[in-house]
Structure 1
Amino acid sequence: MIPNRAPIPVDKLALAVVHAPDRAIPAPAGAREESLRFLLQTAADSGVTRVATRPDGDGERWLGQSWPFPSPFQVSVRTVPVSDGVDRVEARARRSLERLGLPRGDALLVSSASDLAGTEGRALWDKLLALKDRGLYRRIGFCASVEDGPALLARRFQPDVVQLKCNLLDQRAQRTGVLSELAALDVTVHASSIFADGLLFMNSEALPVEMHRHGPTLSRIRRRLAEARVDPMQATLAYALGLPEVTAVVASVASAAELRAVVAAAHAPTPALDWASMQLEPATATAAGPNPRGLGRISSAA
């Protein structure tokens, strides 16, 4: 009998492979596939057991051709927009498994909470329930941000999983109690957008126009991290991994080298930081109502 081991940070990590040309290194098809196989094998060797996918481009097909054997991964799949029709959503969810080369998936997530809030929300959810009942997906849920009212939607639809945008710079999901509400509903929470669109890794000159007003605050945060001898990646991961309500932290990577950096940062000792001082907007200013200007940006990445 193997004794239970204590959880380690990497147990919470989930991998989202970035295929976008601006992140992935251009390479011939064969080299690209070999690079992806190396990335996935590195993830498996590092103890990462979750992979989050999107139904965009050829990403699912490339993953399906590159899994290590036997594959150790639990794979989550996202739906196409309900504007394509609920029957199309169901068919595409089945097709995603075919492209991924999987007999079943771990989780099927509605890509946008607004699809559930719309007039076809119930019909859409019934399609997901049917796929779960047939054993094609073990769990179902949806992706959301704080503005979507995820706890209200969770009470209405009773999902297994909610993937929620939450990161060091935008801590509203924690500060306003949304994470606690979801946990109280026995919903598994996955945190996404944890690198806040890379804002902590940019200098002030490289910031997008809509983020210029946050430049001084970002500079102050980077200075505090430097004084504490904490790398921005270590800080962003430590915040997300330290949220007790969060079961999985989705990190986007484009190469095995990026993944190794993420895993190393996840294994680093948790820094003694005042997390509340690291957010761009105080919780009192973001507890309700519309998204403060700029925070939509830092919740935009997967």
Structure 2
Amino acid sequence: MAASLGLGSAQFGGDYGISNTRGRVSEDEVRQILQLAADCKVLTVDSSHYDGDVERILGRNWPFPSPFKPQVRTLRLEKGLDWLESRLRRSVEHMGLVRVHAALIDNPEDLMGPQGDELWARLEKLKADGLISKIGISASYDDQPLLLARRFKPDVMQVPASILDQRLVRDGTLAALAKLGVEVQIRSVFLQGLLFLPREKLPANLIPVGPHLSRVRRIMAESGADPLHAALSFALNLDGVSTVVVGVTSAAELRAIIAASESKAPRINWDAMALNDEVALTPGMWFQDLGEKTQRRLVRVA
């Protein structure tokens, strides 16, 4: 069974995404996006307090009655468990809610620290109290999400996966998480917009992967698919995945995503599209000064 779509909200609070030319989404547009999502049964809404004032923006613009399954995230544990719990409660209040569908631990390293077990126990208490329905972890590839899931047995795991970043598909992590009974969500299915960025607009650190991106687009075109359709088809049909979280900057974009998600998947050699480049698969490194490392990659690709 194909996964369902979920809605990310980072674009509601800032200029998120390398190919985002529209900037921060206006509240009027947020209201239209949420109404369209409700009408089309895109019910999971992923919120983050790192992205501007997203929680309050959502709280001001939900359609009522709201059909959504909102998710909130934890802040760092550095100020203590009591503060973290208080901040989670404020997140729920800022969204105008009395409870949320899930709370995701946004910093897996906190779970591996000395207070990791206490942190998990605190979230289990909030679940028992009815503030949240599910406990989850938002992890990256380097966080070893399968090991985290085996240790803490979360209800939800959110991880990155895409046509370009197939690491957790190829190593069996996504399928193994599903076998553990974990609800698997994937994000970054467009790799923060890299899939749509013209080769001539790539930042310096990504120039080495330009030829690969051109090859990916050529394969898509030969299969009769555009990048949006291909990326969604890949993500929505991954074994074990329940929800594919996407971000948009307009109702029109969401409408296009919904339409593409309902189209028949193209026949494509998905394996040929995967990137194997540490910098390209790590958005935090895209604009860093990588010095000699970048030069070595440029020489190797040339």
Distance 1:77 1:259 in 2: 21
Corresponding residue for 1:44?
38
**Secondary structure of the structure 1 residue equivalent to 2:225:** coil
Q: Which residues of 2 match residues 3-82 of structure 1 at below 5 A?
A: 12-17=4-9, 18-22=11-15, 23=20, 32-56=26-50, 57-82=52-77
Corresponding residue for 1:292?
278
- Gap change, CA 1:64 and 1:280, over 3 Å in 2: same
* Structure 1 residue 21 displacement after superposition: 4.3
Say whether 1:194 aligns with 2:189: yes
Check conservation: 1:51, 1:75, Cα contact below 8 A: yes
CA deviation string 1:54-89 (max 9, x = no partner) = 013311111111111111101111111112322221
Check conservation: 1:161, 1:188, Cα contact below 8 A: yes
The residue type paired with residue 102 of structure 1 is L
Distance 1:171 1:136 in 2: 35
Say whether 1:174 aligns with 2:169: yes
Check conservation: 1:146, 1:178, Cα contact below 8 A: no
Distance 1:209 1:140 in 2: 39
- Gap change, CA 1:86 and 1:248, over 3 Å in 2: same
Check conservation: 1:204, 1:219, Cα contact below 8 A: yes
CA deviation string 1:123-147 (max 9, x = no partner) = 2111111111101100001111221
Unaligned runs of 5+ in 2: 287-302
Distance 1:63 1:274 in 2: 39
Distance 1:213 1:264 in 2: 33
Q: Which residues of 2 match residues 1-302 of structure 1 at below 5 A?
A: 12-17=4-9, 18-22=11-15, 23=20, 32-56=26-50, 57-281=52-276, 292-297=278-283
Distance 1:213 1:122 in 2: 42
Using the size of structure 1 for normalisation, the TM-score is 0.87
Distance 1:26 1:162 in 2: 29
Range 238-247 or range 118-127, more displaced: 118-127
Distance 2:162 2:285 in 1: 8
Report the count of equivalent residues.
280
Distance 1:260 1:247 in 2: 20
* Structure 1 residue 246 displacement after superposition: 0.5
Check conservation: 2:8, 2:45, Cα contact below 8 A: yes
- Gap change, CA 1:129 and 1:59, over 3 Å in 2: same
- Gap change, CA 1:69 and 1:299, over 3 Å in 2: farther
* Structure 1 residue 26 displacement after superposition: 6.8
CA deviation string 1:120-178 (max 9, x = no partner) = 21121111111111011000011112211111111111111000111110101111011
Using the size of structure 2 for normalisation, the TM-score is 0.87
* Structure 1 residue 24 displacement after superposition: 8.3
- Gap change, CA 1:34 and 1:77, over 3 Å in 2: same
Corresponding residue for 2:291?
none
* Structure 1 residue 233 displacement after superposition: 0.8
